[in-house]
Amino acid sequence: MRVSQILLNIISNAVKFTEKGSITIHCSAEAETPHSLRAVFRIRDTGIGISAAKQASVFERFTQADAAISRKYGGSGLGLAIARELAQVMGGSIELDSKPGKGTEFLVKLPFVKASAHAEPDQPEATATTGCAGCRVLVVEDNVLNQKMTRLMLENNGYTAFGVNSGTKALSWLRKNTADLILMDIQIPGMDGYAATRKIREELGLQTPIIAITAHAFSGEKRNAWPRA
């Protein structure tokens, strides 16, 4: 789970900051012993790049490489800080090499212990599906990868998940379909999560529970919470 969270963050940045060209993902093993190895992931893009001056600070919480860039591309400035912390907790590292206008390469190194050849296969994890199996969840999230990941996690846990990428689409989806729960990203372009939630309550008159998704876990965001039903 941690590995996919790290890679998902770096790959979704590569997609976000590369308007033309390509994104290459390469994986190899190094320092392999009979019991362990270090997995090396290289994620290379031909996007806008990051200036040398900003490269160290992109791993700090709430730092975005450039205010103008963050206005254009959006984002919370949290992802790489969390990705690096996760990698370090696992005993690994994340490095960055980038040239403005040419592209960026992230190098992720993570140590793994090999499963013993004689180990019992893992028992499938018990999933907490009681009472949830088949529940319909609408995921309102503009980031394609985050939306896909959230839907996959829900489906793996027995929910039936649907996705839309804007507040306007959420409203039109809810006019024609029903949901038992809505996961609402707050920072979606156009009609944001707050406005969409107000319309769901006031215009559509729906009391469907809505859970906000945000990387801005500040008390200010909590105070902005919409009126409860």
> Under a CB-based contact definition with an 8 Å cutoff, are residues 45 and 21 in contact?
yes
> Under a CB-based contact definition with an 8 Å cutoff, are residues 92 and 104 in contact?
no
Asked if residue 147 binds ligand ADP (CB under 6 A), the reply is: no
Cα(168)–Cα(139) distance, integer angstroms: 13
Asked if residue 41 binds ligand ADP (CB under 6 A), the reply is: no
Q: Which stretch binds ligand ADP (CB under 6 A): 71-79, 107-115, 171-179, 184-192?
A: 71-79
Considering only residues 89 to 118 of the shown chain, the ones binding ligand ADP according to CB under 6 A are 104
Cα(208)–Cα(194) distance, integer angstroms: 15
Nearer to ligand ADP, 50 or 183 (CB): 50
Residue among 7, 11, 65, 140 that touches ligand ADP (CB under 6 A): 65
Please state the closest distance from residue 218 (CB atom) to ligand ADP, in A.
15
Provide the CB-side half-sphere exposure for 93 (13 A, CA).
4
Cα(202)–Cα(210) distance, integer angstroms: 14
Using Cβ positions, the residue closest to ligand ADP within the complex turns out to be 75
Residue among 6, 7, 11, 80 that touches ligand ADP (CB under 6 A): 80
CB atoms within 10 A of CB 1: 7
Asked if residue 75 binds ligand ADP (CB under 6 A), the reply is: yes
Asked if residue 141 binds ligand ADP (CB under 6 A), the reply is: no
Asked if residue 25 binds ligand ADP (CB under 6 A), the reply is: no
Widest Cα–Cα separation across the chain: 62
> Under a CB-based contact definition with an 8 Å cutoff, are residues 213 and 147 in contact?
no
Residue among 11, 47, 84, 147 that touches ligand ADP (CB under 6 A): 47
H helix and E strand count, the chain: 8, 8
Please state the closest distance from residue 54 (CB atom) to ligand ADP, in A.
7
Token pair recorded at residue 114 = 């090999």
Asked if residue 149 binds ligand ADP (CB under 6 A), the reply is: no
Nearer to ligand ADP, 63 or 168 (CB): 63
Total residues interacting with ligand ADP, rule: CB under 6 A: 23
Burial tier of 130 (Cβ tally within 10 Å: 0-12, 13-18, 19+): exposed
> How long a stretch of residues is the chain?
229
Asked if residue 69 binds ligand ADP (CB under 6 A), the reply is: yes
User: Using CB under 6 A as the criterion, which residues of the chain lie in contact with ligand ADP when the complex forms?
Assistant: 9, 13-14, 17, 45, 47-50, 58, 64-66, 69-70, 75-81, 104
